[in-house]
Amino acid sequence: MLNDGLGPMTLTTSSVARRFSMMILFLWLRVTIVLVAVF
């Protein structure tokens, strides 16, 4: 991870990336639960 000169920009990008990864993780968990319930 590079945070050299862009202070708040890196912070906002990291928070957005973390939120995006959490959303993807939640969706993947829901998909796997649905698949387990179906099969």
The pLDDT tens digits of the residues spanning 1-39 come to 555 555 555 667 778 888 899 999 999 999 999 999 987
The answer to the question of residue 1 being in a domain is no
| DSSP 8-state code for residue 28 | H
The answer to the question of residue 22 being in a domain is yes
The boundaries of the domain holding residue 13 are 7-39
pLDDT of residue 16: 84
Rounded-to-integer distance, Cα 30 and Cα 38, Å? 12
With 0.75 as the threshold, say if the pTM is over it: no
pLDDT of residue 36: 94
The answer to the question of residue 29 being in a domain is yes
The answer to the question of residue 32 being in a domain is yes
Question: How many folded domains does the chain comprise?
Answer: 1
8 A C-beta contact, residue 33 and residue 27: no
8 A C-beta contact, residue 3 and residue 10: yes
